Amino acid sequence: MSDRAGLSFSARWPGEVRGASRKDSQQVGGKGKHLLPWKRVLQVLVSLFLLAGLLASAPRLMNWLNQPIARVEVHAGFEHLSREQVEDILQPHLQDRFFALDLNGMQQVLVAMPWVKNASVRRHWPDSVQVSLSEQQPVARWAGNALISNEGEVFAPEDITGFSAMPVLDGPAEMAVEVMQQYLAISQLLRPMGLRLTRLKRSNSGSWRFTIGHVEVNIGRDRRMERLQRFVRLYHARLEPRWSQVKRVDLRYLNGASVAWSEALVGSK
């Protein structure tokens, strides 16, 4: 008993130990929490400073990017168009700066030019415009005062005097494509015979007639290909030796044709 009475015990309860640990960690963590808000404030201040600088320099930057147009590049074959014509018609649209250009408006005025078939316009930074054009390819005159392309598109340049040697096609405006297709078919048929079509007309009623030099050929409305083949056989069998004396050939018959001869030949008979 005396031994036990002389001993002194020192005990630490578990709750006291945990409490001391939480206090220490709160002290350490507290130092970190005091530092974080200052970092965030510094980041916000730097961001605001950069934003203010960007806003202040934006007008100058935009003015530098949005430059006036200094050059127009035109890519085309220039068979019937000239570079000056293209630049002149685009000039009113080139007063705007780079980003304000009306590309659709520029394309529309180009396509409205008689000789332009297709057009594309695009910006090329920093100060130029690139224009690409394809021109109409005329193969014949249309009704005497216009031209028609190989795709049957009728267009009317200001001056067509340089195309007087081309054949003349005629017909209702809405039938231009069909007239062009018929012209190509007849021309292909006549070419091996050494003959050249000089005029082709489709009437409002659908009747067809064409001219080969001084000879007029009438094939009517129906069975056109059959009648054209009949004309080829008749030419080789009877007309070729006296072609210069033929005036008209009418193929609007079931199985035959009528031929009108020149007055000189009729008088000599």
Question: Do the beta carbons of residue 115 and residue 138 sit within 8 Å?
Answer: no
The domain spans of the chain are 14-61, 71-135, 138-268
What residue ranges of the chain have pLDDT lower than 50?
A: 1-32, 266-269
- Annotation: CATH topology of 138-268: Rossmann fold (3.40.50)
Instruction: Return the pLDDT at 170.
Output: 97
pTM of structure: 0.72
Instruction: Return the pLDDT at 36.
Output: 54
CATH, domain range 71-135: 3.10.20.310
Q: Do domains 71-135 and 138-268 have the same CATH topology?
A: no
Instruction: Return the pLDDT at 23.
Output: 47
User: What are the beta bridge partners of residue 148?
Assistant: 140, 154
Question: Do the beta carbons of residue 197 and residue 211 sit within 8 Å?
Answer: yes
- Cα 212 to Cα 197: distance, rounded to the nearest angstrom: 5
- Cα 213 to Cα 211: distance, rounded to the nearest angstrom: 6
